[in-house]
Amino acid sequence: MPSVVDLFCGVGGLTQGFVKEGFNVVAGIDVDESCKYAYEANNEATFLHKDVRDLTAESINALYPSDAIRILVGCAPCQPFSRYTNRKTADSKWQLVETFAKLIREAQPDIVSMENVPELEKHEVFKGFVRVLVQNGYQRWWDLVECVEYGVPQTRKRLVLLASKLGPIKIIPATHPPPRRRTVRDAIGRLHPIDAGKASKDDPMHRASALNETNLKRIKATPEGGGWKDWDDTLVLECHKKETGKSYPSVYGRMRWDAPAPTMTTQCNGLGNGRFGHPEQDRAISLREAALLQTFPKSYRFIEPGTDVVIKDVARHIGNAVPVRLGQIIARSIKKHLEAHSG
C-alpha cells in the first residue's frame, strides 16, 4: 500500500490533500510542536515533534509498513528563498533543503515530492537537490505551478517537484481553466459579516484583527480592489509618499470579490501587510476566511477546545501551510503515476 511521510508538515495542509485522495499518511514531522493538535485532530496520522536535521534514514523507513511503496513529501520552510528575505540571514535555513536531499539519498524512498517558493529554482541548493535525485536513479519533473489553475482561489505560484524510481512522473493537467477559476466570492462569500476586532458567535475562527481609528478610516476610504493610492493625502503614510514607497501598491488593499485572492502569508490577518482587506466589510480577512482561501475544509480544527484563539499564531499556521487543494493535486498526480507504473 502506498504510504506517506510528510516532512515540515505544519498543521497538515499537504497531508490533508493526500488524505482526501485516499493515501495512508503514517506520520507528519515538524519542529513546531504548536502544530500537533491541528495536525492530529484532522488527519489520521501521527505528529512527530522533531527537527528534520535529527532524522536518520532508519528512523524514517521505520515509519512505513514493511510492504509499502514509500512516498516522502515536504515543503521546507520557504522564507529563506523569498525575495523579501535578507540574504545574509537565510543560509542556515537553506540547509533544510540540503537535509531533505540527504534523507532522500540515505532512505531511498520510491517517490518524492517537494513544494516551495518559485525563487528556490534559481538557487544552487535546488540544483544540488536535483543532482541527488539524478545520482540516485529518480526520474524527475518540476515546474512553476499557477495554483489558481488547480482550484486554489489565490494568485499563488509555487515550485512543485515530483520524482520517482518507478518511471516518468509529472503533475496532472490543470483542472480549472479561466472560466472555472475560483474567486474570493466562491471561497468566503457565504460567511456572516463581522466587525474588526470581533468574532462570530458561531465560529471562533471567524475572527478579525482589531483596527485603530486611523486604519478604520483607511479601510473605509478603500474601494473594492483598491488600496492606499485611493486615499486622501491625510491618510497616506509618509513612507508611501516617498519614491521608494510606490513599489508597495498592495499594502492596505482590499480584495476583489470576483478575482482570486493574493497569496496568503503568515501575516494575512493584518490590513497593512498586503491586500488582505475584505472586499466590502471594513476589516482585514478573518482567520476562517484565510483558511478557506488556503482551501482548508471549513470543518478543519485549528484550536484545541477550551483554549483561547491567538490570532497571530493561527495566522502563522495558516499562512505557512501548503494549500490543501494543491496537496490534493500533488497526491492525485502521484496516484495517476502509480496506476501507470506499479504492479
Please, what are the averages of pLDDT over each run of 10 residues along the chain (343 residues)?
Answer: 96 98 98 97 97 96 96 82 48 81 98 95 94 98 98 97 98 95 98 97 96 95 92 79 56 94 95 94 98 98 93 96 98 97 74
Q: Determine the Cα–Cα distance for residues 107 and 62; give it in Å rounded to an integer.
A: 10
* Complete domains list, the chain, with CATH: 2-179+322-341 (3.40.50.150)
Q: Tell me what pLDDT residue 88 has.
A: 46
Q: Determine the Cα–Cα distance for residues 157 and 299; give it in Å rounded to an integer.
A: 26
Q: Tell me what pLDDT residue 11 has.
A: 98
Backbone angles phi, psi at 5, to 5 degrees: -115, 130
For residue 266, give the nearest of 308, 317, 311 by alpha carbon: 317
Q: Tell me what pLDDT residue 86 has.
A: 45
The pTM score is 0.93
Q: Determine the Cα–Cα distance for residues 205 and 95; give it in Å rounded to an integer.
A: 34
Residue 167: C-alpha distances to residues 70, 130, 162, 335 (Å): 15, 16, 11, 13
Q: Tell me what pLDDT residue 84 has.
A: 46
78 close to 59: Cβ distance less than 8 angstroms: no
Burial class (CB in 10 A: 0-12, 13-18, 19+), 72: buried
Q: Determine the Cα–Cα distance for residues 141 and 143; give it in Å rounded to an integer.
A: 7
For residue 280, give the nearest of 213, 209, 207, 191 by alpha carbon: 191
Cell numbers for 129? 537537490
Active site residues: 78
